[in-house]
Structure 1
Amino acid sequence: MELFSDMPSDEGLPGAERRRAMIAVMTATTMAVFDGTIVNVALPQISLALNASAGASIWVANSYLLAVAMTLATFASLSGRVGFRGLFTAGLGVFTLASLGCALSSSIGMLIGMRVLQGIGGAAMLSIAPAIHRTVFPNRLLGRILGLNAVLVAASTAIGPVLGGTLLATLGWEWIFAINVPLGIVAVVLSLSAIPDARKPGREPFDIAGALLSAIAMGALIMAADTCSRLSEKGEAHDAALTAAAYGVTALVAGIAFVWDQRRARQPLLPLAMFASGRFSLAALTSLASFVGQGIAFVALPFLFQNAYGYSAFQSALLFTPWPIGIVLVAPHAGRLADRHSPALLSTIGLALFTVGLALLALLPDHAPAWDIAWRTLICGMGFGFFQSPNNREMLSNVAREHNGNASGVLAIVRTFGQCLGAALLGVVISVYTADAMALGETQMNAAQDAQAIRIALWAAVAATALATGVSFSRIRKARASPV
């Protein structure tokens, strides 16, 4: 297999070490993706087993996301100090031990605490995983390995709910966390033997102020998004709006202070010089806008399938499956093409197809059969799969190798923030329609109102991905003028 063949001029590691490093990173990625998809399915059972309220059990999911968001930039910067091997292995170890702690939790408070530790370990892994790929593999194979990684994420997303349902039905909720332990042990052993150190020389003072400000800014953004998603709850809209505004102002102030600090710091947490490359900046902006569209669709479609069309939760999961299948079918080919042709052009084509797929979903009839939903979601998956690998390659290959870890952190940050912003926009749309229903004296929205609200949200997703397509198209000429 060419991914593991050696050529005299190759950068990166020898073929056998590449294989071990790839297995370690992809095992860790699978664990993180499974946790994100399985935990949401298990929340009702966890709430019942630990005698917790629905509001408290939601924090089993939110605490993980919050911990990841608040520490991504810090870990991306730390990778240059402690090395890829040390940071990735430590993060993987923390994630694995925290998974065991989650499985052994006897109260909701303990479980939430363990999920915070899981999030910290997950951030250490996810913030530098793409950078490890670039360090381990030569540039001529970067698109291919990123395409393979996209396939893994998509397959894990598709399998996650099924695996979660099986574990919940046969062994109990504890096993959705316990399954990480043997996988984590294998990945730690492989990481210690195969992942390179990639440590930067020098010992400049660590940017503590930047780390704190980035954590505050990202944490406040996530909390603002979470609060916006609850604007539709009866009797809480006013308080939720004020709380969301407070979090938003906090995030804005912390973000401005963070940029100011980065201009002054001797060793900035996130070197702003990276963004001097127009191709890197445009790729990051394109990724952000695309993940806003994806975030809206991922949260909106289950509401559409269940509340408006009357499908069960299991049927909704099956209706969503064509999306990751589309990614699996397309992403490997997109990755290979990106190694030989313009990633900017390929990304633009993929985004255009993704936008068409979202528009087709927004145009679904009132009583859509399963086959009509399936082919539209398949187009979305194929478009996103054709976009993601080339765009990630464009981001990583347009920064200096000493900034690999930072660029990888930016990639993870725009993905996390984009998805959260998408969920927040959906919350705002639903809150508007709920307010209209209450003004008419109704206690809740009917199926037709649900469908209309989701369609409006899907059109917002179309607008986000159309914006991403426009930004992506603008960089094609720049890519032709300065090929990588």
Structure 2
Amino acid sequence: MSDQGSHTNTELKHSPWLVLVVLCLGFFMILLDTTIVNVAIPAMSDDLNASLADVLWILNAYILVYAVLLITAGRLGDLYGPRRLFIVGLVVFTAASAACGFAQNPDQLIAFRVLQGVGGALLTPQTLTALTVIFPPDKRGAAFGIWGGVAGIATLAGPVLGGWLVDDFGWRWIFFVNLPVGILALVGAVIVMPDLKLNRRHRLDWVGTVLVTTALFLITFGLIEGQSHDWGEVWGPVTIVEIIVAGVVLLVVFFLHQWATRDGEPLVPYQIFRDRNFSVMNYVAAAIAFGMLGLFLPLTIFLQSVLGLTALQAGLAFAPMSLISMFIAPFAGRLADRTGGKLILFAGLSLFSLGMGILIASSHVDSTRWHLLPGLVVAGVGLGLTFAPLQTVAMRNVEPRMAGAASGIINTTRQLGGVVGSAAVGALLQAQLTDKLAAAARSQTAGLPAEQRQELLGRFGQSAGDLDIGNSAGGITFPPGTPPQVAELATRIFHTGFVDAMRVTLVLPIAVLASGALTVLLVRRRSAGSTPSESFAPEPGGPSVVPGGR
């Protein structure tokens, strides 16, 4: 289907850098909510009586809905304009954040997190779409660098701001803080965002949306709930394995459906993947998200529930990595404009993997946050070299008329990597905890009286999916009159078992990050003398946006 004649002309009334500020403010709020929730996990677990399985759903309900709606939201941005979808997304996300703050139990919080995911999905693709269109090719890397720097700021601000709010005001304020940010971004969007209309002839693939949403829900549900159901029956004869297999089958059907409708309006336009760099970057983006979300959940629990740090202290422990990443990202973006970004991205992912490996090797029951500093510094350098080059390489050869679909796809693969990473690492952590806590209990209770020993063995021998991972040492409580040494022993068993489980579990996200680094080597380097502007030349009848505001 031809796109000619389907565009409307638009000129920028404000500097693209001012538009960038507004876009980054909304994007900042989305990322802030992801990192800020992690640091509040122990407090939420204690206050809402949420188990580890509940916590995984609080994290993944948002990411899952966010991920499966991103491509559709990118299409809606093409249809109705990025400005309109950005504003709608802001309103939904901000309102849902207020509702999360008033949640009274895990189920309510999970439901409101779903609404947050809808708002975040509507908003996010519009940022990359607008940046790709309003900035000229020679400035696009710098803009992506700032965009990536915002990710670093959110990574820093989330744990630190969240820790302060949790310690001084309570975990509910990690959601209430979104209100002023959302309102400010909303006012800015109404005033400065251009009304870009890229293609009014897009249609939505509702069959594809239903297929991919159902498939991903089944896979994620199986991973999160597997350990708590011993990977067996869930509803009658239906087992966890059957649920996961059904999800995989539906995912295959989804891709077959996309291929069958490739000449129409599929949810995933396959012609975008003819560009090798874009295809490679989709896997790399997924690997980065898999690694980051997979790493930070166990580490957050480790810092607070094992090392005994407050939420603020735990947030500050991640600050060196975030600060370094924030300052390096814009320079990495400008360097990517000149060199193409391949080697920068490879170095970034390699250093991030190395730094996380150093951090895990430094994690022990008696560690302090200073023992973790070397690994965090190395990881911060790597993270700063990652975001901007990834976007530059991925979007370099994408035509502006496909920017909405492309940004939706790469953001979707990133978030799918995150949701699968969080669910897979959560499942592995639960399995390892079930094994390691029982082993620690057996080895450390040998000298206790039989009754007390059986009490501890019973408590630590249950499925880890039902474990309280708050600040109360695995939720173990004892009746009045219990000797203090028994309670101390229970705490030591929980700490030892958790650290042993965490060290094994985190091998998985580091391995995925390392595979992402190796995949970068498949990127086709920009030929000497070529410029990205050739790939971004607007087609006849395309949008007449004045790049760079000139």
Q: TM-score range by the shorter chain?
A: 0.7 to 0.9
Query: Would you say the 8 A contact 1:67–1:120 is kept in 2?
Result: yes
Match of 2:505 in 1: 457
> CA shift at 1:172, angstroms?
5.0
Q: CA deviation at 1:289?
A: 2.1
CA RMSD of aligned residues (A): 3.3
Question: Which residue pairs with 1:9 in the alignment?
Answer: none
State the 1:404 CA deviation. 0.8
Q: Following TM superposition, by how much is the alpha carbon of 1:471 offset from its aligned partner in structure 2, in angstroms?
A: 1.1
AA in 2 matched with 1:79 = G
1:133 to partner: Cα distance: 1.5
Q: Match for 1:468: what amino acid?
A: G
Partner of residue 478, structure 2? none
Question: CA 1:267–1:37 in structure 2 vs 1: closer, same or farther (change >3 Å)?
Answer: same
Deviation at residue 335 of structure 1 after TM alignment: 0.8
Letter of the structure 1 residue corresponding to residue 281 of structure 2: A
Hey, what does 1:37 align to over in structure 2?
35
Q: 1:183: how far off?
A: 2.7
Cross-structure match for 1:384: 383
Q: Name 2:479's counterpart in structure 1.
A: none
Moved more, 411-420 or 60-69: 60-69
Kept in 1: contact 2:294–2:426 (CA 8 A)? no
The counterpart of 2:518, out of the listed 450, 462, 470, is: 470
For 1:371 and 1:62, the matched residues in 2 are separated by 30
Give the direction of change, closer, same or farther, for the CA distance of 1:110–1:359 in structure 2 (3 Å limit): closer
Segments of structure 2 that go 5 or more residues without pairing to the other structure are: 1-9, 443-456, 461-492, 533-550
Q: Does 1:360 align with 2:358?
A: yes
Alpha-carbon distance, 1:392 to partner: 1.4
Q: Contact 2:145–2:334 (CA<8 Å) still a contact in 1?
A: yes
1:358–1:461: 8 Å Cα contact kept in structure 2? no
Partners of 2:176 and 2:498 in 1: CA distance:
37
**Match of residue 262 from structure 1:** 258
Is 2:402 the partner of 1:403? yes
Q: TM-score, normalised by structure 1?
A: 0.85
Structure 1 residues 440 and 244, CA gap change in structure 2 (3 angstroms): same
Consecutive unaligned residues of structure 1, counting only runs of 5 or more, are 1-11
1:317 deviates by 2.7
State how far apart, in whole Å, the 2-side matches of 1:184 and 1:281 are. 33
Matches of 1:352 and 1:470, distance apart in 2: 9
| Aligned residue type for 2:244 | G
Q: Which moved more, 1:350-359 or 1:309-318?
A: 309-318
Q: 1:438 — aligned with what?
A: 438
Given the two structures, how large is their TM-score scaled by the length of structure 2?
A: 0.75
1:97 CA drift (Å):
2.7
Residue of structure 1 equivalent to 2:135: 137
Alignment size in residue pairs = 469
Matches within 5 A, 1:318-357: 318-357=316-355
Paired residues of 1:425 and 1:457 also in contact (CA < 8 A): no
SS state at 1:297 partner: helix
Contact 2:57 2:224 in 1 (8 A): no
Task: Specify the SS of the correspondent of 2:194.
Answer: coil
Counterpart contact for 1:351–1:468, Cα < 8 Å: yes
Cα distance change of structure 1 residues 309 and 102 upon mapping to structure 2, 3 Å threshold? closer
SS of alignment partner, residue 372 of structure 1: coil
Alpha-carbon spacing, 1:305–1:109, altered in 2? closer, same or farther (3 Å): closer
**Aligned partners of 1:427, 1:248: CA distance in 2, in Å?**
15
Give the partner amino acid of 2:116.
Q
Q: In the TM superposition, what whole-angstrom CA distance separates every residue of 1:125-180 from its partner, at most 9, and x where no partner exists?
A: 11332222212222212221222122222222222233234434555555433333
Cα distance in structure 2, aligned partners of 1:191 and 1:349: 36
Larger displacement relative to structure 2 (419-428 or 23-32): 419-428
Question: Aligned partners of 1:280, 1:374: CA distance in 2, in Å?
Answer: 34
Q: How far has the Cα of 1:216 moved from its partner?
A: 1.7
Matching residue within 70, 85, 88 for 1:87: 85
Whole-angstrom distance in 2 between the partners of 1:106 and 1:146 = 39
The structure where helix makes up a greater share of residues is: 1
Q: Which residue pairs with 1:245 in the alignment?
A: 241
Equivalence for 1:77: 75
1:297–1:269 distance in 2 versus 1, CA, 3 Å: same
CA offset digits 1:342-365 (Å, max 9, x no partner): 211211121222222123224327
Taking structure 1 as reference, are residues 153 and 182 closer, same or farther at Cα in structure 2, changes over 3 Å only? same
3-state SS in 2 of match to 1:197 = coil
Deviation of residue 271 (structure 1)? 0.4
Counterpart CA distance in 1 for 2:440 and 2:172 is 45
Partner of 1:415: 414
Q: Which amino acid aligns with 1:295?
A: L
Question: Does the CA contact (< 8 Å) of 1:295 and 1:421 recur in 2?
Answer: no
CA distance in 2, matches of 1:110, 1:307: 25
What is the aligned counterpart of 2:62 among 61, 64, 82? 64
2-structure distance, mates of 1:479, 1:311: 51
Structure with the larger RCO, 1 or 2 (CA within 8 Å, 6+ apart): 2
Q: 1:304 to 1:185 in 2, by over 3 A?
A: closer
Kindly provide the CA deviation profile for residues 345-388 of structure 1, in whole angstroms up to 9, marking residues without a partner as x.
21112122222212322432745443331121111111021022
Shift of 1:26: 1.5
SS of corresponding position for 2:14:
helix
Distance change >3 Å, CA 421–CA 481, structure 1 → 2: farther
Question: In the TM superposition, what are the counterparts of 1:179-258 in structure 2 within 5 Å?
Answer: 179-203=177-201, 205-227=203-225, 231=227, 236=230, 238-239=232-233, 244-258=240-254
With 437-446 and 407-416 compared, the bigger mean Cα shift is at 437-446
- 1:190 Cα shift? 2.2
Structure 2 residue identity aligned to 1:412: N
Structure-1 separation of matches of 2:31 and 2:294: 18
C-alpha displacement of 1:124: 0.4
Residue number in structure 1 paired with 2:297: 299
Using the TM superposition, give the Cα deviation of residue 74 of structure 1 relative to its aligned residue in structure 2, in angstroms: 1.2
Query: Counterpart of 2:386 in 1: which secondary structure?
Result: helix
Query: What residue number does 1:7 align with?
Result: none
Q: Which digits, 9 at most, give the CA deviation of each residue in 1:100-130, with x for residues without a partner? A: 4444567766554433222211110113322
Deviation at 1:411, TM superposition (A): 2.1
1:279/1:478 contact within 8 Å kept? no
Q: Residues of 1 paired with 2:356 and 2:339: CA distance?
A: 26
Structure 1 pair 327–219 and aligned structure 2 pair: CA distance change class (3 A):
same
Aligned-partner residue type, residue 438 of structure 2 = M
